A = this chain, B = another copy of it.
Amino acid sequence: MLKVRAMVERILVINPNSNREVTAAIDRNLESLRFADGPEICCWTLEDTPLGIETARHIDQVVEPLCDLIAREDNHTSAFVIACFGDPGLASAREATSKPVIGIGEAGIAVALNRGERYGILTNLPEDINPGLRQIRALGLGARLAGIEAAGIAVVDLGDETRARAGLLSAAWRLKEKGAEAVVLGCAGMVPYGPDLETQTGLKVIDPVHAAAGVAIVFVRAAA
């Protein structure tokens, strides 16, 4: 809440996997939060990391390059967004900079609470559910969780539109039956399917990268 506007006003969104197509999709989806006189929003791909963050080890592996990047860019950046739902390296990154660092898992759920009484999470595979539950326990955000449902589509197969659409839609309906009113996309690769899911199910679909960027704007402009 300091009253001197920072010289730099840049939000750096880091895609921790090395898939540039995912970064490009994220980038397009953030267009709606780029304002003429607002903070610059840059989307970068982390180099030399897995193409998809699919395991606990992937999550751990990206932390070093992620923190290195954050340290290097600290001077020119107002806030960082880690664009992977597992929030890899969030605590470490917060040690690497005094600027706000926002994880899309934490921000996506936090924002979703404002759009529905209970929320669900769409995830890729059934084996993502237990790690997701652990993450939610760690975040302390489980009280309004309706459930986590898997689409049955690995991250790398999200490009198969027919299968992905069907798997996500089916999982979204199951979340609705469980009482979810808002649904958080548990993977950046699901973003293109969001509008369709929302139209067909009536659920409020939350893109967590978009939500995190909004939270970043709050923090950047709180310091304005």
A residues with CB within 8 A of B: 1-3, 32-33, 35-38, 55-57, 59-61, 63-64, 67, 89, 91-92, 94-96, 100, 102-103, 106-107, 110-111, 113-115, 117-118, 129-131, 133-135, 137-144, 179, 181, 194-195, 198-199, 205-207, 210-215, 217-219, 221-222, 224
Nearest-neighbour CB distance to chain B for A215, whole angstroms, equals: 5
**In whole angstroms, what is the CA distance A40 to B195 when docked?**
24
Contact of B117 with A100 in the complex, beta carbons under 8 Å? no
Copies of this chain in the oligomer: 6
Contact of B217 with A217 in the complex, beta carbons under 8 Å? yes
Contact of A218 with B224 in the complex, beta carbons under 8 Å? no
**In whole angstroms, what is the CA distance A56 to B35 when docked?**
35
**In whole angstroms, what is the CA distance A54 to B170 when docked?**
31
Partner of A129, one of B1, B33, B64, B179: B179
Contact of A221 with B32 in the complex, beta carbons under 8 Å? yes
Once A64-B60, A217-B33, A217-B217 are accepted as A-B contacts, the answer to whether A117 and B131 lie under 8 Å apart by CB is: yes
Closest-by-CB residue of B relative to A58 is B92
Which chain B residues lie closer than 8 Å to A61 at the CB level?
A: 63-64
Contact of A218 with B134 in the complex, beta carbons under 8 Å? no
Nearest-neighbour CB distance to chain B for A148, whole angstroms, equals: 9
Partner of A137, one of B91, B143, B213, B215: B143
Which chain B residues lie closer than 8 Å to A218 at the CB level?
A: 33, 111, 210-211, 213-215
Contact of A113 with B139 in the complex, beta carbons under 8 Å? yes
Contact of A179 with B130 in the complex, beta carbons under 8 Å? yes
Closest 6 CB pairs of A and B: A140-B143, A214-B218, A35-B35, A56-B91, A138-B138, A110-B110
Contact of B102 with A114 in the complex, beta carbons under 8 Å? yes
Contact of B207 with A1 in the complex, beta carbons under 8 Å? yes
